[in-house]
Structure 1
Amino acid sequence: MIAALYFPSIASAHAYIVKSTPYENETFTKSPQHIQIRFDEPVQSAFHSLQVLDELGKRVDLHDGKVNKQNQSILEGNLKPNLPDGNYHIVWKVISSDGHSVNGVIPFSVGDAGSKTNISSKPTQPLSNTDVMGTYWIEYISLFLFVGLLFFGLFVYKSDKTNRTMAFNKTKGLLLLSYFGLLFSVLLSLIVETKNYTNGTWQAVLHKNLLMETINNTKFGSVWIIQLLLLMVLANSLYMACKKEQKNTFYWWLSAFVICAFLLLTKAFIGHAATENEFLPILFDFIHLLSVSIWLGGLIGICYLLPRVQIEKENNADYWKTIQRYSKWATISVTLLLVSGIYASLNYIPNLYSLLHTNYGKVLCGKILLFLVMLVLGLIHFIKGRRSKNKLGKSVWIEISVGMIVLALSSLLTNLPTAMESPGPFTGVKQNKGYSISLHATPNIVGKNTFTIKIKDKNHKNITSIQQVTLTFKNTDMNMGNNTTQAKQASSGVFESKGFYTNMAGHWNVKVHILTDSLDSVDVNFNYIVGSR
């Protein structure tokens, strides 16, 4: 949360419109011929939709909507010639690069259309439904449990070969249960994602053509095929490891762990990190997932494996040595979780306002609070491990239960648009030539905004000797030229301007030019992020 306060973000997730032709509520004197919607990221070619409807709901486009092959961030189509005067609206839907469906409406009019349409033009990406959440929650739990138990048996529970074999025999049933849970959730995810893309019913999506469309033409489909192949290879490793006690059993369990690590990596390629198509975000997401697996899986190992092994060995010294080794790995995991979590917050939370006012930010706050609870419980267990006195009791199960809730919130976050699309009102203050100039932009979205400029002296008093204040807007993501307007004086030292000066989401620069009564010029520049809604 601290990182969200002090560092502006430079990334986004879920596609949103940065420019459209026509733009929202644009009025044409003549019928337009072409429609173009530009998004902030490439969109997928599957399951997109582009329709233009008149006031009666009849289509007036040529049914040729497509994603531009040369620039996949553009959805475009053509209109029927000579549209009559009236109100129209573009109904669009795309699958963003991170695999989530986004849709919206853009109203416009031709000629003398009378009253404007009241249709909302806001893009929507609904809260994750229970189908998606449930499927990915099962997948997360199964995968983290599998990876964590394997790591615990291979690297934490260090003993001779006989005891290691005994440890894996004790966890064999739980590992197999995790594998089948993982297989079930991966198979089900194909149907769930197809249902999510098409907004159809369960019966409707169980159609070969729709499922093949998801597999062949979406990023999720490509990753799903890889996941299925990895699960087949993993089944072979499990079979060989469980088949009999042989000399290379350790290496079969190790190969199973490596395969599961690759499965974790595939999750990073269909999450928010994959939006940027860069190595570093995907790497940090993978580190985050692996660290959670080691932490939670280790706790399961302590609660499930150690008591069963100790019944046969009756050796408290080995018990506490294992706890102390786990504590070291858990400390490393928590450190990596904090680093990767802060990195993600810099990418997806632009400021404190978006943290507290967006669905993504609110869910993230809940996850952070529960993480702190786990951290306190982990510290208690760490101290107990150092003292080697009473065995860890029910508090470990409490920590595991909290971890399961955190995983549920993580599955929800994965399917929510990030807070980048709603940065909220902007306020900035700059100093120059003894003047203090503040700029406040609200609501700070694409479309109409109010810009308020306050000019004060060194004593924080409003300056009255101002002749003119000019604002020049420039988008720094794309060369769109400059847009200049003159602000009107609202009161002593306060100037205001209202208008459609930011017609595209993303990074903007506003140059404030002040001319005093003595013809002195004072210039300051403000850089900020404009939200899509």
Structure 2
Amino acid sequence: LGFSHFLVHSEVVMRNRVIPLLVFFALLFHTHIALAHSPIEKMLPQAGAVLENAPTQIELWFEDPVELFQGSIVVVGEQNKNVTLEKPQLDPNDKRHVIAMLPNQLSPGKFSVKIEAISYDGHQVKENYQFEVKKPVRSQEEMLQNFKLERSSPEDGTILSKSPEQIELWFTDATKVTVFGVFDDQDKVVPIGEPIQDPANPNHFTVKMSSQLHKGTYSVHWYATVGQFEKNSVYYFAVQKYTPLKGSNGISKDSIFSHVGFLQFAHWLAFVGLLSLAGGSLFELFVARGRGNVPRWRMASNLFYGMASLGFIVEFILNRINYKQVQWNEFFTFSFVWIPIIQIILLTLGFWISKGVFRLTLLSTTVLLWAITGHSSTPSYGGTWSILLDGFHLLAVSVWLGGLIGLLLMIPKENSLDWLKVVGKTYSKWALGSILTIGISGVLMSNNYVTSYSIESFLASNWGKLIIIKMVLFIEILFIGFLQMRYLKKISIMGLRLLKQLKIEVYVAGIILVVAAVLIDLSPKEAEQGVFPKSAIIKEVKATIGITPLKMGTNEISIRFDNQPDFKQVRVKLTMPPDWIVEDNAFSLGNGEYRLTGDFLHAAGVVQMEVHAVTTQGEEITFPFEIRVPGVMF
């Protein structure tokens, strides 16, 4: 009798705890639109391009495949007038390549391209950039768009035998140097004179050095203007020996709470409802086999069905609000829209119409559909292999969680300990297999999502922090499971402790699903850090890249060549869409080793790197690399 009273009291306690938990979520969360995950690798026309001839189309290459709608690409001309543009199309051979035709020839002028695509995991990819179609008559400001430093003395990337007496600059057009500065390798200002313009050549400037320069590397910074237009750049030289520049570095971050909103609450509702319903149905069929308090489970399953349905509906409404500019017929073509609709249909059919094994099949299929709407559906996160792992992971979570809840709800009022002894032992075998599957698949998926990282980059990202939290909670689950197996062997004495541990496990599971609900909208790319590939072989010459430190700020880039130790010149080009481009000559240290130092990694994300090596015979060899800088992409 005392044991039955305990069970009734436990149900009241659980109900009184679950309801405040739901209220807490509703009050805490606010609507949040996720940041873009997939950067744009290339665009044509290029950002900032000044074209002699009007383009006939806009072309974009994304890092990952995207989904499009009518307004995914908008071209705006002068006076803020939209340019007629055909609906953008995906290249059938490359889903990362988008083409939008311009049916009418653009008249001369400046144009803005506004881009809004959607990645496979439902996140917005927004960008905008400008290009210009050349006009017959151009102002000084327009002419300066092609303005650059033509040459300098000392030259970029050279190591001088002694301190220079002056610095000379030759620009491509007449200009005015407004700011000029030289910094040593400790980031200290070097005293210099004022830039003096050559009266015979307005493109030429001379700057006298005020003192002798010590050994090491120096950076030269300049700003030049024509009218209201201004350009700036940096180049580097060294005296007697190359030394890396000192400076600050960091990884961009944001708050986890900025990613918590109603959408994450909807994810949580859907997770708890559907996973509990599917796993509980399996528990009823194959573990309990009709024994125990089945009516109580079936009453509770109504709550889980309602939670899952409400979660899917709220997700649909919030996605529609976020993409209100998209027409309805296009909106329903997005995978993160039509797949949840199918999930609601299967969920309803499985819950209200089907019974037994067929119900379990429909509910399990509904769970598996999540695997093709999240991170695993993106090719850069593993593609088919990650989808399979995600499917096993989700089913295992469902078996564990649904069985756990079913075990608590179906405990009969009479012969409770005997029922727990038999059914609990059977469930413990299912739970053990599920926990092992969850752990193994989770580790493999994380490894697919982030293939290269450091401990610092992993812990700096919100995605990495939540993965660590999940791991800690998972270890706690393992410990609780170990205690439960001990209690089952002495259930006549430890029955109350077993029930207490089961309830704690349910609460921990609820927290894990909160973490999962937030994780689904975070980008694993924030934790990525590395150079891909580390080595490239072109024309039998091997180039190996190293970057220290590989994060935003001042860096040192090392290039090592094998089979071709000496080049006439080695130049490195770094690009990051839409319009960031940096080019510098590398310092030659001999024996095929070259170095660059400076503020090369200015933001988190993917930086495209090209190493252009020119042989003594004038042949140029280009080595392509990709640098993944950790941090939040603002």
Pick from 194, 197, 214 the counterpart of residue 331 of structure 2.
214
* Residues 54 and 380 of structure 1, relative CA distance in 2, 3 Å threshold: farther
| Partner of residue 179 from structure 1, selected from 305, 325, 332 | 305
Report deviation, 1:83. Answer: 3.2
The equivalent residue for 1:168 is 294
Corresponding residue for residue 487 of structure 1: 586
Which of 494, 503, 506 is 1:400 aligned to? 506
Task: Check the 8 A contact 1:35/1:76 in 2, yes or no.
Answer: yes
Deviations for 1:271-326, whole angstroms, at most 9, x for unmatched residues? Answer: 111223943322211111111111122221233222xx1x2224x23312322222
Q: 1:312 aligns with which of 414, 426, 437?
A: 414
Bigger strand fraction: 2
Q: How far did residue 335 of structure 1 move? A: 0.9
1:147–1:257: 8 Å Cα contact kept in structure 2? yes
Please say if 1:143 is aligned against 2:168.
no
Task: Write the distance in 2 (CA, Å) between the matches of 1:490 and 1:184.
Answer: 65
Counterpart AA for 2:463: Y
* Residue among 407, 432, 439 paired with 2:546: 439
Offset, 1:490: 8.0
Distance 1:101 1:35, change over 3 A: same
For residue 64 of structure 1, the aligned residue among 86, 106, 122 is 86
Provide, for residues 97-138 of structure 1, a one-character-per-residue CA deviation record: whole Å limited to 9, x for no partner. 2222221223456644654799xxx9x9x9656232121111
Q: Is the counterpart of residue 267 in structure 1 residue 383 in structure 2?
A: no
Separation in 2, partners of 1:267, 1:154: 24
> For residue 90 of structure 1, what is the aligned residue in structure 2?
113
* 1:40 lines up with 2:63 in the alignment: yes
> Could you say what secondary structure the match of 2:69 adopts?
strand
Q: Is the Cα contact below 8 Å between 1:324 and 1:386 reproduced in 2?
A: no
Conserved in 1, the CA contact under 8 Å of 2:532 and 2:627? Answer: no
| Structure 1 residues 185 and 330, CA gap change in structure 2 (3 angstroms) | same
Deviations 1:465-501 (A, max 9, x none): 98878478999xxxxxxx9985215899772167999
- After TM superposition, the structure 1 = structure 2 runs for residues 103-182 of structure 1, keeping only pairs within 5 Å, are 103-108=126-131, 111-112=142-143, 115=229, 128=259, 130-158=261-289, 164=290, 166-182=292-308
SS at match of 2:508: helix
The 2-side partners of 1:19 and 1:454 are apart by 24
Corresponding position: 1:342 with 2:468: no
Residue 224 (1) aligns with residue 323 (2): no
Listed one character per residue, the Cα deviations across residues 131-171 of structure 1 (whole Å, up to 9, x for unaligned) are 3212111111101111121122222225xxxxx16532221
How many angstroms apart in 2 are the aligned matches of 1:41 and 1:428? 18
- Per-residue CA shift, 1:73-112, capped at 9, x if unaligned? 215354862333x6x5432111112222221223456644
SS at match of 2:73: strand
Partner of 1:411: 517
Preserved CA contact (<8 Å) 1:428 1:440? no
For the residue of structure 2 that corresponds to 1:312, the secondary structure is coil
Report the secondary structure of 1:180's partner residue: helix
Match of 2:393 among 265, 273, 288: 288
- Structure 1 pair 400/346, CA: closer, same or farther in 2 (3 Å)? same
**Counterpart-to-counterpart distance in 2, 1:214 and 1:144:** 27
Query: Is this contact kept in 1: 2:534–2:544, CA < 8 A?
Result: yes
- When residues 102 and 454 of structure 1 are mapped into structure 2, their CA distance, relative to the original with a 3 A threshold, is closer
C-alpha deviation, 1:226, in angstroms:
2.2
Aligned length: 452
Greater CA drift, 107-116 or 268-277: 107-116
Contact 1:92 1:104 in 2 (8 A): yes
1:46 and 1:194 map into 2 onto residues whose CA distance is: 14
Deviations 1:409-453 (A, max 9, x none): 21222122322x6634659999xxxxx9872166679xx996522
**Partner SS state of residue 356, structure 2:** helix
Contact 2:293 2:410 survives alignment (8 Å): yes
AA of the residue aligned to 2:305:
Y
Shift of 1:528: 6.1
- What TM-score, normalized to structure 2? 0.60
Which of residues 91, 100, 112 is equivalent to 1:76? 100
State the one-letter code of the partner of 1:335: L
SS at match of 2:64: coil
CA deviation map 1:386-415 (0-9, x unaligned) = 443402133322221121121122122212
Does structure 1 conserve the Cα–Cα contact (< 8 Å) formed by 2:530 and 2:629?
A: no
Tell me the equivalent position of 2:17.
Answer: none
Distance 2:568 2:558 in 1: 12
1:383 offset after TM fit, Å? 2.8
State which of 386, 389, 405 in structure 2 corresponds to 1:300.
405
Higher helix share: 1
Corresponding residue of 2:467 = 364
Report the AA paired with residue 521 of structure 2.
Answer: N
CA-to-aligned-CA distance 1:163-194 (integer Å, 9 cap, x gap): x1653222110112212222232333322222
The Cα shift of 1:60 comes to: 5.5
Deviation string for 1:252-285 (max 9, x for gaps)? Answer: 2322211110000111121111223943322211
Q: Which residue of 2 aligns with 1:328?
A: 429
C-alpha separation in 1, matches of 2:59 and 2:306: 46
- CA distance in 1: counterparts of 2:611 and 2:294, whole angstroms: 66
Give the C-alpha shift of residue 333 in structure 1: 0.8
Preserved contact between residue 349 and residue 361 of structure 1 (Cα < 8 Å): no
DSSP-derived class of the 2:317 partner: helix
Distance, in Å, in 2 between the alignment partners of 1:362 and 1:221 is 29
Larger radius of gyration: 2
Q: Equivalents in 2 of 1:449, 1:137: separation in Å? A: 41
| Unaligned runs of at least 5 residues, structure 2 | 1-35, 134-141, 146-227, 233-251, 536-542, 576-581, 616-620
TM-score (norm 1): 0.70
Asked if 2 retains the 8 angstrom alpha-carbon contact of 1:15 and 1:97, the reply is no
CA distance in 2, matches of 1:450, 1:414: 32
- Paired with 2:523 and 2:112, the residues of 1 have a C-alpha distance of 24
Cα distance in 2, alignment partners of residues 471 and 178 from structure 1: 61
Distance 1:275 1:47 in 2: 22
> Relative to 1, partners in 2 of residues 1:77 and 1:174: Cα closer, same or farther, differing over 3 Å?
same
Residue 390 of structure 1 is matched in structure 2 by 494
1:257 matched to which residue of 2? 360
Q: Distance in 2 between matches of 1:30 and 1:368?
A: 57
Aligned to 1:496: 596
Contact 2:573 2:583 in 1 (8 A): yes
